[in-house]
Amino acid sequence: SVNPDLASERQTPSFSVEKLTAWLDGGAEHTRIRRAVVEAIDRDPVFSRENQYFQSQNERYEAAVRKSVHLQKKMHEMGWTENGPEFKYIYRALSGDIAFLLHRIFMRSISMLGSDKQIAKWIPLASQYQLIGSYAQTELGHGTYLQGLETTAVFDIATQEFILNTPKISAMKWWPGDMGRSATHTVVFAQLYVHGKCYGVHPFIVQIRSLQDHSLCPGISAGDIGPKMNFEHVDNGYLMLQNVRIPRENMLNKFCEVQPDGTYVRRGSQKINYFTMTTVRISLMSDEVITPLMKACTIAIRYSVVRRQSKLEPGEQEAKILDYQTQQEKLLPQLAAAYAFHSINNYLEELFDKGYREIQRRNFDTLPELHAFSSGFKALITQHCTAAVEICLRACGGHGYSSLSGLPSLYTKILASCIYEGENTILLLQTARFLIKCFMAASAGQSVPPSVTYLAAVKPGKCPAKNKLDFLRPDIYTEAYQHMAVRLVSSTAAKLQNLIQSGVKKHEAWNRCTVQLAQAAKAHCHYITVKNFAETVEKLETKAGIQKIMKHLCDLFALHGIFSNAGDFLHDGYISGAQMDMVTASYLDLLPVIRKDAVPLVDAFDFTDKTLNSALGSYDGQVYQRLYEWAQKSPTNKQMSPAYERYLKPLLHNTLSKL
Amino acid sequence: VNADLRRERAAATFQPELLTHILDGGAERTRRRKEIEALVINDPDFQHEDLNFLSRSQRYEQAIRKSSLMVMKLREYGIADPEEIYWFKSFVHRGRPEPLDLHLGMFLPTLLTQATPEQQDRFFMPAWNLEIIGTYAQTEMGHGTHLRGLETTATYDPATQEFILNSPTVTSIKWWPGGLGKTSNHAIVLAQLYTQGQCKGLHAFIVPIRQLGTHEPLPGITVGDIGPKFGYDEMDNGYLKMDNFRIPRENMLMKYAQVEPDGTYVKPLSDKLTYGTMVFIRSLIVGDSARSLSRACTIAIRYSAVRHQSELKPGEPEPQILDYQTQQYKLFPLLATAYAFHFVGAYIKDTYHRISGDISEGDLSELPELHALTAGLKAFTSWTANAGIEECRMACGGHGYSRCSGIPDIYVTFTPSCTYEGENTVMMLQTARFLVKSYTQVSSGQQVTGMVSYLNDLARQRIQPQHVAAKSATVRINDPASLVEAYKARAARLVEAAAKNLQAELNHRKSKEDAWNRTSVDLVRASEAHCHYVIVKLFAAKLSDISDAAVRAVMTELCLLYALYGISKNAGDFLQAGILTDAQVTQVNQRVKELLAVIRPNAVALVDSFDFHDIHLGSVLGRYDGNVYENMFEWAKKSPLNKTEVHESFHKHLKPMQAKL
């Protein structure tokens, strides 16, 4: 039975939960397919995550491998294919607790960077799991800065082979997933040398383990890099190469090739090598970043209406903690952010699909803009969502700290997203470089990509809001964000130019402006997110109350951003002190409004209890009962700890006090 | 030692030892601390495998083993001073919690303060000798910070002269107490006392929970471990359910309140004294915020001096990442914060000791303010340190995410302090209550004293309203004293705004509680501004105590950075109140970046001054010698997944799959 405190929250939603779910899924048909996939997976005991919180690293890894293998069978049984509509829901249903994710990146990089011949050779083997692939880019001493990689691949004309080496300890490949224990092959990124000349970083397919007995190939040292904050199920690995020889044909050569006589040939733009990374960044947002935030919100908000603490009115029973303004102010902006990022992510996915088709046609015009988008939004969304999940965790007080709440594992997993696929600060600076360039071009009257035309249309002036209700107008707050972004970009560009004109070297001037540049890039992405959310809400159907509640969330997201970055908006007086008080008032007024729909809004995310795997967040709200039952399953309660016989007993039996 | 770190240390403008002495409270304290540290570190009994590679059960077992030895050796060495015990313990357990924490830190002290002499005779020596191991069971599954809501009952039965303890609901199960799950055989249980049909509120009872000898739970007692957590792997946080469990009347702690044999309840005299304990524990958390953040800064800054990445100047080798402005901007304000919190922790401790002197002489007049202030400071420092540790980890990139960096452990060990000993938001609102009260006093013409005395100025300003521009012109951004004034003005403004909003809500609504709730976001902001002011003030005041000129110079830079960075991050408050102009905020932002460059040459020396031993730091990235990469490789080889070259999963799953497809 559902806890009455939770049931009462669901009685009078202002909108149709089912319709909102359908909107989130992109249509009722998608909802139907997703639910079918989730149900099939939830019902299969092999995929159960019931004991996950009690397992060791070794057990987690084994379970992930077992599930991945079982998944092949399951897909066959269910008639799911990699190109079918079900496929994208499988990962969500498994909560990513599965091995061989890098195997997919391995295949993707071959498809994108390999010649037709290479694709024909490797892809069938990989899809049949006759080999297991990984993707080895990062080194112990080198991460985001690819040019700094130290692994070498020297072409030997005599044998028509590349000789791969790890010249020093910092050049060891470090972190690649699936490489510590599982992979038989990996794509190694190495500095290519032909006739003593370095041609920069290129990808090579290298076999690292025997296909017969899985033992390491000659010249290869590889293993697991040890425990991490999360990803216990993934064997992130290290790889050392000593004179490992691979045939010439193993360099992925769609865009660059070393011919038998050692001639280096380049076809098309080198930039394309980085497009893999660019698309990966965006493709990760939904499953790895936004979905975890939605889960965290679901857990924290459901728990906050079940948990009662202290009194709001004397003589009444203790209040639900979600009725406290401070608790609303912690959680509801995170809920609004989840919807805002869901919306911008849809937009980005469309943009990238379009961009990808262009690039297939060898039209690279949109590449700089896409790159700036992927870098900036990856940084903004991962940073924001990571912080948001942590807020949800801490908003659950002591019980949030229990692994059984599900929140610690959501947090430790999402926070890795701030680093992988490009460290966030570096990514923001890449976006900033694009913005500065476009700003200069726009100022000189040249044409710029559509996302940044606003930089040219600098309108001086003041925010026209007259009362607090004006701040519920999307044109008013979108304009404020735009003004702030333009101000930060233009003032940083001016400072950069001043420094250079005063004789400071370009690179030094750049370094001295990087704190501001990163802020400007963030402001740009924040502006686009607000603008996109407002436009999305505008287009929603007015039926079933969906537009109305989404408008509230959009307002909250926008005003929370102004409230928390007040200095940026007050700085040049665009928003006055009196207007800032109106922003605060409108912002705080929205909290109790959205509060009423908080539970329906997380119900709309439509996570099953098995997907959430949280003692605090289940649909029925039987929080305490579940916490108590789950704790009984802990190995610490099942096995007698040897600590008692060995240490506690002598301690208690007074052997020590004789001293 | 790695060449980069050697160069960094040679370039420092001050002697780190002198700063270490200041942090320790004198050269003699430093010497003694290092002496105790050596006792532990050179003792083979305290060596063990890297805890990162052990299961939870194994970590618990190691912790119990070390705790037993620790108790024995503390007595052997005759270490009895509380601070020295704290050092010894934190070296033994390397800054982690341990299963006897609650026994030593709560059970024994509670016996001393709340037990009658007879009770002390019965329980204290057995507990001192660890025949009795106790814990302190307050929090319940459904109830935390709001103590009055606890549901456990203790009903007096005059017929047998016993209390009958019950956990009447699932939510009333005791949940979280450290050492309760597996270690303790006794617990001090907080329960609602019922006698003669009336509820007399919360009282403390000594409850045996496990059989002496067999360690099996007693009939009527259900006890166990609450399962895996974010951190605290060494600690058996437990649950406790009692079903009609009877204890003799003499097991209620009766130094203050009493239940007589016939069931007559005798009220305690005063409960003000319990404030003292809370203040003391919160001062420890402030100190812990400083230490945890210092450890994270040490790791991140040393690693940033060793790590080279990307290029700053075309054609030159990859620079140390500490040379990037963005990296400095992430780390140096946190370094300044760590120092600020050290001084705040020391201030609270000193003030507490001074006031406790007064307590015995009956002068408790300063206690309410200190109590209110420490609530907010506990929240402010633990929130800031919590976020700061994460920033340090993030600043170490991918390797920060590995357990070998040590920062994940610092974080998961530290983060519960945002919740325990009073949830932070609730703490902020306690401070706010005091601030509003003080504001109301000022409004009605009374003067207030202490840290809130700036509120007196508000009354004066209303008589002589100063022109905004005139006020902002007086802020000198290179003068710590002037910045203290700016923070003071911000606090005054936010306290006033919150108090006025509260009044406006009161005029509109029926109940006080509702109005308070609708103003609570403003009230928290006011408290934060007040605490921020206090911290800047204490940091600035500390500067004049520093005799060595070189140390004072670098501390002054850090103090300025701390104050200016705070202004930069909260520019909205300063702009809106007219404390600073746009142009001044731009100057502040610029000055922050200049200070980063000024502090850069001393960064490594400034973390060396914290003087964490490598073993205590527990980080491959933060090693004193900076030999990071070789040691990461050595560390990884010990990972459990590497025990065999071919993992069993290959034979069990991979191979069969390949055969089938």
> B142 to chain A: nearest residue by CA?
A307
The identity of residue A127, as a single letter, is: S
pLDDT at residue number A637: 85
Nearest to A279 by CA among A186, A380, A357, A200: A357
pLDDT tens digits along B605-618: 999 999 999 999 99
Q: In this complex, is the C-beta atom of A221 within 8 Å of any C-beta atom belonging to chain B?
A: no
Residue B415 CA from chain centroid, whole number: 8
CATH C-level class of B134-268: mainly beta
Order of strands across the sheet that contains B174-175: B174-175, B238-242, B221-225
pLDDT tens digits along B362-417: 666 777 888 889 999 999 999 999 999 999 999 999 999 999 999 999 999 999 99
Which range, of A446-460, A574-588, B125-139, averages the lowest pLDDT? A446-460
Nearest to A568 by CA among A475, A480, A446, A484: A484
Rounded distance between C-alpha atoms, residue B21 and residue A554, angstroms: 54
Helix, coil or strand: residue B166: strand
List Cα–Cα distances, A337 to A289, A345, A420, B552, B653, in angstroms: 12, 12, 22, 45, 41
Helix, coil or strand: residue B338: helix
pLDDT at residue number A271: 66
Any binding-site annotation on B178?
yes
Tell me whether residue B421 is one of the annotated catalytic residues: yes
Assess contact for A477 and A340: CB atoms under 8 A: no
Asked if residue B302 has pLDDT above 70, the reply is: yes
Q: What is the CA radius of gyration of chain A?
A: 27
Q: Which residue has the tokens 């058996």?
A: B236
Asked if residue A267 has pLDDT above 70, the reply is: yes
Rounded distance between C-alpha atoms, residue A199 and residue A162, angstroms: 14
Nearest to A178 by CA among A111, A106, A284, A95: A106
CATH C-level class of B1-22+273-445+481-645: mainly alpha
Any binding-site annotation on B644?
no
The mean pLDDT value for A296-313 works out to 94
Architecture (CATH level 2) of domain A273-630 = Up-down Bundle (1.20)
Q: Do B228 and A402 touch (CB under 8 A)?
A: yes
Determine the length of chain B. Answer: 661
pLDDT tens digits along B565-584: 999 999 999 999 999 999 99
Q: In this complex, is the C-beta atom of A139 within 8 Å of any C-beta atom belonging to chain B?
A: no
Rounded distance between C-alpha atoms, residue A243 and residue A239, angstroms: 13
The mean pLDDT value for A178-193 works out to 96
The mean pLDDT value for A392-396 works out to 97
Q: Do A643 and B60 touch (CB under 8 A)?
A: yes
The mean pLDDT value for B422-432 works out to 94
Q: Which residues pair with A191 in a beta bridge?
A: A152, A201
Rounded distance between C-alpha atoms, residue A446 and residue B399, angstroms: 43
**A418 contact residues in B (CB cutoff 8 A):** 394
CATH 1.20.140.10 domain extents, chain B? 1-22+273-445+481-645
Å between A197 CA and nearest CA of chain B? 17
Q: In this complex, is the C-beta atom of B65 within 8 Å of any C-beta atom belonging to chain A?
A: yes
pLDDT at residue number A53: 92
Q: Which residues pair with B258 in a beta bridge?
A: B266
Q: Do B654 and A182 touch (CB under 8 A)?
A: yes
pLDDT tens digits along A62-78: 999 999 999 999 999 99
pLDDT tens digits along B629-645: 999 999 999 988 898 88
pLDDT at residue number B270: 62
**Helix count and strand count (H, E) for chain B:** 27, 11
Rounded distance between C-alpha atoms, residue B511 and residue B504, angstroms: 12
Q: Which residue spans within B258-384 are E strands per DSSP?
A: 258-259, 265-266
pLDDT at residue number B661: 60
Assess contact for A349 and B183: CB atoms under 8 A: no
CATH code of the domain occupying A130-267: 2.40.110.10
Nearest to A135 by CA among A274, A246, A253, A237: A237
What does the DSSP 8-state code read for residue B450?
A: G
At B301, the pLDDT band (50, 70, 90 cuts) reads: very high
Q: In this complex, is the C-beta atom of A238 within 8 Å of any C-beta atom belonging to chain B?
A: yes
Domain residue ranges in chain A: 130-267, 273-630
Å between B126 CA and nearest CA of chain A? 9
**A427 contact residues in B (CB cutoff 8 A):** none
Catalytic entry in B151, B421, B485, B496: B421
Which range, of A469-473, B560-564, B636-640, averages the lowest pLDDT? B636-640
Residue of A66, A148, A516 lying closest to B318 (CB–CB):
A148
> A304 to chain B: nearest residue by CA?
B142
Nearest to A651 by CA among B193, B301, B72: B72
Write the ipTM.
Answer: 0.93
- DSSP codes joined into one string, A28-87: HHHHHHHHHHHHHHHH-GGG--TTGGG--HHHHHHHHHHHHHHHHHHHHHHT--TTSTTH
At B471, the pLDDT band (50, 70, 90 cuts) reads: low
Q: Do B402 and A226 touch (CB under 8 A)?
A: yes
pLDDT at residue number B652: 86
**B65 contact residues in A (CB cutoff 8 A):** 643, 646-647
Q: In this complex, is the C-beta atom of B501 within 8 Å of any C-beta atom belonging to chain A?
A: no
- Please, what sign has the CA dihedral across residues A211, A215, A221, A226? positive
Asked if residue B469 has pLDDT above 70, the reply is: no
Which tokens belong to B630? Answer: 């070789």
pLDDT tens digits along B196-231: 999 999 999 999 999 988 899 999 999 999 999 999
Averaged pLDDT score across all residues of chain A: 93
Rounded distance between C-alpha atoms, residue A305 and residue A619, angstroms: 12
Q: In this complex, is the C-beta atom of A227 within 8 Å of any C-beta atom belonging to chain B?
A: yes
Q: Which residue spans within B196-274 are E strands per DSSP?
A: 198-208, 221-225, 238-242, 245-248, 258-259, 265-266
Catalytic positions of A:
421
**A419 contact residues in B (CB cutoff 8 A):** 394, 397-398, 400-401
Q: In this complex, is the C-beta atom of B636 within 8 Å of any C-beta atom belonging to chain A?
A: yes
Q: Which residues pair with B193 in a beta bridge?
A: B154
Rounded distance between C-alpha atoms, residue A55 and residue B228, angstroms: 10
SS3 content of chain A, % helix, strand, coil (to 5): 60, 10, 30
The mean pLDDT value for A213-219 works out to 95
Chains A, B: CB contacts within 8 A come to 379
* CATH fold match for the domains A130-267 and A273-630: no
Assess contact for B138 and B178: CB atoms under 8 A: no
At B16, the pLDDT band (50, 70, 90 cuts) reads: very high
